[in-house]
Chains A and B, each alone.
Chain A
C-alpha cells in the first residue's frame, strides 16, 4: 500500500460561476467518488478559492515577505485535494477518473505519490 495525493487544479472563475444545478451535480460526483473509494480516502478538502490565499517567503536577508494571493500566479489554481491509499498507480488512476474535475475541460487532477519516511 502507498499513499497518493490527488491535487485538483482548475479555473477558479469557472468553479465560482457554476449554476446551482451544476454545483449540485458536482457535489454528487464527489459523494460518488468517496463512496467508491471507501476507506481508501485518508483525507481531503475543498480549498477556499485562490485569491484568498496568503503566501510567505523570505528575502535574502531573511526578512519575512508576505504576499496576498497564491504562490504561483496561474490561471489554473489548486482547488482541493484528496489523500488516498492504494496498491498501485493503476488503482489510483481508476479512482481519480471518477472525479468530476477530470472531465470538466478547464480542470484536471495531478497524482503525486507521497514520500514515506521511516
Chain B
C-alpha cells in the first residue's frame, strides 16, 4: 500500500472524521451504528484508494460510504427489534436561523450535553468528535480500556434512553451550552498541557486534539466571542510548548525559557483572535486568561514583563471567576511586581484554604519566594512539600534540583 494513501487516510481521519460520523448519525438516528460505519468507511478507503486513487473530496467519499453502509445495515436489521432507541433527530432544529445547522455542531452539543457527567462529555467528545479509539481515550484519562469502554457505552445509552436530542441548543440556551463545550475542550487541553501523572510533562496528542476542536468550533461559530477567546488562550499557551522542557525532559519555568523559540505564528493567531473576541463583549474568563498569556507572549524577557498589567488582569479574572488557583497566580504576580516579601504576604491567606491543601504549586510558589529571600530552611521545607504533592515526574525533577540547591546554600 502506498505511503501516500496511508497519509491521505490519516489526514482525512483527522479532518473529516467528525463530519462523516455526524452526518451518518443524523441520517440514521443511530449513534452506535454511525460510529461503526464511519470506522468501516476509513478501513474501506485504505483498501480502495490504492486502486482508484485518492478521491478529490475524501470527506464526501467517506461520508457516502458510511451512509450507504448504515442504510444497508438498517434494512437488514429492520426485521428485528432494535437494541437501542433511536436518537431524537427531529428537524425542529432551532439552530437553523442562527447558522447552527451543522451536523458536526449537533454531534458536539450532544456529546457535551449538561445531563452527562463531565468525564463522560470529555470521553465522548474525544471518541466521537475527534475519532480517537477507545483505548486512546482510556490512555488520555489514565483509566483501563475496559473502564473507558463501559463509560462510553453508559453515556451513549443515556443519550438514547433519556432522549438527549441530537441538535444544536435553542438560542436562549446557547450561551450556557457553548460554555459547557468550551469547558470540555479546556479540560482536554489542560490534561495535555500538564499531564496529571506520568513521565512526560506534555501530551502533544491531546493538545493537538483540543486545538483541532477549538478551530472547528471557531469555524462553525465564527462570531462567538467566548469561542474565539478560548481558542486564543490555547494558541497562546501552546506557543510556548517547545520550550517548556529541556532536552532531558526537565521542566523549565517561564523565566528560563528561550523566548526566541516561541511559536510566533501561534502567538500572532492567538492575539488576533483575542482582539476579535474583545471587540464583541465584555471579556469572558477565557479572554482574560488569554490576555494574561498574551502579555507574557509579547514580553521580550521575564524581567521586562509588565507585572502591573498581569496583576490587574488577575484582579478582573478573580472578580469574574473566583477560584483559589487564580488567587494563587495573582499572589505570585504580586510577588513579581512588588518583591518576594510582598509575594509571601499575598500567599499567606491561601495557606488556610482547604481547596489548595494538596495543590503542589502553592508550596512551589512559597518555596521560590523563600529561596529569593535566602530563608533556606523554610524554602527547603516548602520544596519538600511540593515534591510530595506533584504527580508529574518532570515537575518532580525540577523541584528536586531546587531543593538540592537550597540545601547546599544552607549547609
Contact = CB atoms under 8 A, between A and B. Distances in A.
A115 to B, nearest CB: 8
Contact of A89 (B90, B163, B170, B173): B163
A84 B162 CA distance: 13
Interface string A65-98: 0000000000000000000000111100100000
Interface size class of B (residues with CB under 8 A): 10 to 19
Interface string B102-116: 000000000001010
Nearest to B166: A88
Contacts of A90: 164-165, 169-170, 173
Contact of A93 (B88, B115, B161): B115
B356 to A, nearest CB: 28
B90 A113 contact: no
A89 B164 CA distance: 5
B165 A113 contact: no
A90 B163 CA distance: 8
B169 A113 contact: no
Nearest to A116: B85
Contacts of B88: 87-88
A90 B165 CA distance: 7
Nearest to B89: A88
B115 A87 contact: no
Residue with the greatest number of chain A CB neighbours at <10 A, chosen from B163, B165, B170, B173: B163
Interface of A: 2, 87-90, 93, 111, 113
Given A87-B165, A89-B164, A90-B164, 10 more contacts: A2-B163, A87-B88, A88-B88, A88-B165, A89-B162, A90-B169, A90-B173, A111-B162, A113-B161, A113-B162
16 contacts: A87-B88, A87-B90, A87-B163, A88-B88, A88-B163, A88-B165, A89-B164, A89-B165, A90-B164, A90-B169, A90-B170, A90-B173, A93-B115, A111-B162, A113-B162, A113-B163
